[in-house]
Structure 1
Amino acid sequence: MLSSVLILLVAIIHVYILILEMFLWDTHVGRKAFKLSADFSAVTKVLAGNQGLYNGFLAAGLFYGVWLGESGFQFKIFFLICVLIAGIFGAITANRKILYIQALPALIAIAALLLQ
């Protein structure tokens, strides 16, 4: 039960990221969340939308794994590892904050999943 709750939390975080990147990137909310200038957000809006879509795929995989229950273990572990790697890469290349927002929750969910 705990691992499912944690996995759902990671999935919800990624739905939120999808919304920020696909729909709110070039708005006050999106610019504030990512500390962007209006000029930069306007120029990168299409790229951010594409990135948001990928975050949505991560969330979909996690939701599907939870929906499958115990038989979804491989889905859950695969998508959590993808989130963890993306979070580490993002922390190294973009912003250290990503390590705590994306990678750490995935790591905690992986630990809970493996310990159940």
Structure 2
Amino acid sequence: MNLISSILVGIVALEHVYILILEMFLWTTPRAMRTFGTSKELAEATKSLAANQGLYNGFLAAGLVWGLCYPDAVIGWQIQLFFVICVVVAAVYGALTSNKSILLKQGLPAILALTSLLVF
């Protein structure tokens, strides 16, 4: 595994930890409402749904970190590959069904990490 791949996968993991925090703990704050384009009323009404989404983003981050830390490099690479592909699929789905900017914000770092994992 090369350093560039590890850094890119780490960035994707950190991004998903940040999303977890926004969705699980900060959903009704001005920062999260601005980030996700919600009103106070909508944020309050969807708080439990957002927390659930945040938990899933945390699972993605945990899987990526697991892959980075796995003692066997080949298995670690496979774990990273699986979770990065999951992020790419989620970003494409989010862009098609919700907000096109998700493809850039979530998809681009994951696509770069995926490319790096496959090339290096």
TM-score, length-scaled by structure 2: 0.94
- State the number of aligned residues: 116
Q: CA deviation at 1:32?
A: 1.1
Q: Which runs of 5+ in 2 are unaligned?
A: none
Identity in percent: 51
1:48-67 to 2 correspondences below 5 Å: 48-67=50-69
Question: Does residue 1:37 correspond to 2:49, yes or no?
Answer: no
Q: CA deviation at 1:74?
A: 1.0
Q: CA deviation at 1:115?
A: 1.1
Q: Distance in 2 between matches of 1:11 and 1:114?
A: 18
Equivalent residue number for residue 26 of structure 1 = 28
Please tell me the residue identity of whatever aligns with 1:68.
Y
Q: CA deviation digits over 1:55-101, x for unaligned, max 9?
A: 00000000010111623011000000000000000011110110011
Equivalent residue number for residue 107 of structure 1 = 111
Equivalent residue number for residue 100 of structure 2 = 96
Structure 1's consecutive aligned runs of 4 or more residues displaced over 6 angstroms after TM superposition are none
Q: Distance in 2 between matches of 1:7 and 1:35?
A: 27
Pick the aligned partner of 1:79 from 73, 79, 83.
83
Q: Which runs of 5+ in 1 are unaligned?
A: none
Q: Distance in 1 between matches of 2:15 and 2:68?
A: 15
Please tell me the residue identity of whatever aligns with 1:25.
W
TM-score, length-scaled by structure 1: 0.97
Q: Distance in 1 between matches of 2:89 and 2:107?
A: 7
Superposition RMSD in Å? 0.8
Question: Does residue 1:8 correspond to 2:10, yes or no?
Answer: yes
Q: CA deviation digits over 1:33-68, x for unaligned, max 9?
A: 111110000000000000000000000000010111
Equivalent residue number for residue 19 of structure 2 = 17
